[in-house]
Copies of this chain bind each other. A is one copy, B any other.
């Protein structure tokens, strides 16, 4: 997390720093991003940067978290809309993710986050729902999920389901970027995966040949 001094900054200065950082992280993946570039763009002295953040990763993860928050809210909305059907909600979120990307910069930001998934980003993205910090939202989701739909024997397995869906979704998303799939292809692949998850990779006893 950024230090308090960052939040004490004027809205204007803070936004200009964020803008500079987003630009840098859209230019290159985190590993190649440099503090020097960001402060040059933002026009602040080097010392100040370290007054606000531990280091460049601190800033990066702050930005990723901001984005993650947005998606989390969206997902909760979709879960309501689809009456607790997590796969329907995940599918709509995925489509929204793909279609709602107008800004070249923002796209690159996500692209690099995907291509260079460090652990903290990864958990932030795949655990974006199962996050102990946030008990309220956690409980909200539990209450929203339609358990009758799921093939589970206890509440604990709800989280297994959510984790499976999110890790497969993340994988699809990464693949879209690395294989440069069109949105149509990406959604087609995603749908196949989701159906396999829904009905099982294995035939049930009855239909077994």
Contact = CB atoms under 8 A, between A and B. Distances in A.
A149 B203 contact: yes
A87 B114 CA distance: 27
Given A116-B118, A148-B209, A171-B167, A198 B192 contact: no
Nearest to A199: B200
Interface residues of A, number: 45
Contact of A157 (B87, B196, B207): B196
Given A161-B196, A208-B148, A114 B119 contact: yes
A193 interface: yes
How many identical chains are in the complex? 2
| Interface hub of A148, A152, A168, A206 (most chain B Cβ within 10 A) | A168
Contact of A196 (B126, B151, B170, B174): B151
A59 B136 CA distance: 46
A101 interface: no
Given A117-B117, A118-B116, A149 B196 contact: no
A197 B196 CA distance: 8
Contacts of A142: none
Given A126-B171, A151-B196, A196-B151, A204 B204 contact: yes
Nearest to A118: B116
The 7 closest A-B pairs by CB, nearest first: A200-B200, A167-B171, A115-B119, A198-B202, A199-B200, A161-B201, A151-B203
